[in-house]
Chains A and B, each alone.
Chain A
Amino acid sequence: QVQLVQSGAEVKKPGASVKVSCKASGYNFTSYVIHWVRQAPGQRLEWMGWISAGIGITKYSQKFQGRVTITRDTSASTVYMEVSSLRSEDTAVYHCASPSSWVYYDRSGYFAAFDMWGQGTMVTVSS
């Protein structure tokens, strides 16, 4: 069974960092690209960045460049997303997402439609 399982909810103070994990199972982890998408209350979905699970290259949305770091541990089939210098506006549900097949990718081979999603991790930033 193909699935992405994320770590649990977090409560952080402004200025702190948070690291969310996303463990993949049931498919060839290193063959695909895993993305992070967040959804703040009442807001649209927002793409944050991706990592190529096999070779480890990353790309970030300009909005999050310098404040978000995505890494992976291939031995654990797990991707991590860390956000630093948290502020109240970072309160959101954070999802990892990935296509399970090459048919979902665009021509670049990195951006895609996502048929697999993690269950979401609620991150609350509050003093």
Chain B
Amino acid sequence: EIVLTQSPGTLSLSPGERATLSCRASQSVSSSSLAWYQQKPGQAPRLLIYGASSRATGIPDRFTGSGSGTDFTLTISRLEPEDFAVYYCQQYGNSLTFGGGTKVEIK
């Protein structure tokens, strides 16, 4: 099973700042089958990025995914108030596993 480790656990930032979230896999993720989700309390996850770098339908361009192999990054260029949430990475190239999440909170 591929284990995904997200860092940091919590990111404290102010609106307008840049957020950089990391997801590291225990082995290479095939075909860059890596996704990122945003989850707010009481809601289902919302797909942001698939294929490591493709934005899902309707996702603003301030969200950017990058990386390959075992190291992946989600960058939020300028945080909007609605971006404060928990973010999960997911790999789907070898079965399916999720990371432990990064909480982006208001500083």
Contact = CB atoms under 8 A, between A and B. Distances in A.
Contacts of A115: 47, 50, 56-57
Contacts of A117: 44-46
Interface size class of B (residues with CB under 8 A): 20 to 34
Interface in B63-93: 88, 90, 92-93
Contacts of A104: 47, 50
B98 A45 contact: yes
Contact of A106 (B33, B46, B47, B101): B33
Contacts of B101: 44
Interface of B: 30-31, 33, 35, 44-47, 50-51, 54, 56-57, 88, 90, 92-93, 95-101
Interface of A: 35, 37, 44-47, 61, 95, 97, 103-104, 106-107, 111-115, 117-120
A113 B95 contact: no
Contacts of A46: 98
Contacts, number: 60
B44 A113 contact: no
B98 A103 contact: no
Contact of B95 (A97, A103, A111): A111
Nearest to B46: A117
Contacts of B90: 45, 113
A35 B93 CA distance: 15
A35 B99 CA distance: 17
